[in-house]
Amino acid sequence: MSEVRVLIVDDSSVMRKIVERSLRQAGLESLVAYEASNGADALEALKNGSVDLILTDINMPSMDGLEFLSRLRSQNLAPGVPVVLITTEGSLDRVKQGIEAGAQHFIHKPFSVEQLRDRVLPLLKTA
């Protein structure tokens, strides 16, 4: 697979590194990872460059993942780029809101490399 640019949005720097490492283990060896600690930082990152995939947490300070998704779509940033929620959110209503706002999938933390591979790689092939 050629170079894949991924934006990882999570308020935990440790979790961003875990997601990046897991994506590499899932088969994305040529991954170029961009990081943002909240939705506002993610929107700024997307104004400065394009990505092939966005992985975002829901619960973050400043701008949470649902607000990020809403603004991402309303500002027409990253059109057609798949978004996957990676979250500890236990409320199915919040996850459903994320899907309705434009996320293609969700993965609960803690997650396995296999879950990432099964949910993320097919999205890259169809994007």
- pLDDT score, position 127: 59
- pLDDT score, position 29: 85
Q: HSE, CB side, 13 Å, CA atoms: give it for residue 75.
A: 14
Under 8 Å between Cβ of 84 and 54: yes
Residue 1 confidence (pLDDT) above 70: no
**CATH classification at residue 57:** 3.40.50.2300
> Chain-wide mean pLDDT for the chain?
92
- Work out whether the CA dihedral 92, 94, 46, 12 comes out positive or negative: negative
- pLDDT score, position 91: 75
Give the tens place of pLDDT for each residue, 16-43.
999 999 999 999 989 999 999 999 999 9
CA-based end-to-end distance of the chain: 13
Give the tens place of pLDDT for each residue, 90-107.
778 888 899 998 999 999
Give the tens place of pLDDT for each residue, 36-74.
999 999 999 999 999 999 999 999 999 999 999 999 999
User: Which residue segment(s) compose the domain that 99 sits in?
Assistant: 4-126
Domain count along the chain: 1
Residue 115 confidence (pLDDT) above 80: yes
Q: Which residue has the tokens 């500890």?
A: 88
Q: HSE, CB side, 13 Å, CA atoms: give it for residue 48.
A: 9
- pLDDT score, position 16: 97
Give the tens place of pLDDT for each residue, 69-85.
999 999 999 999 999 99
Contact partners, residue 94, CB within 8 Å, separation at least 6: 58, 66, 87
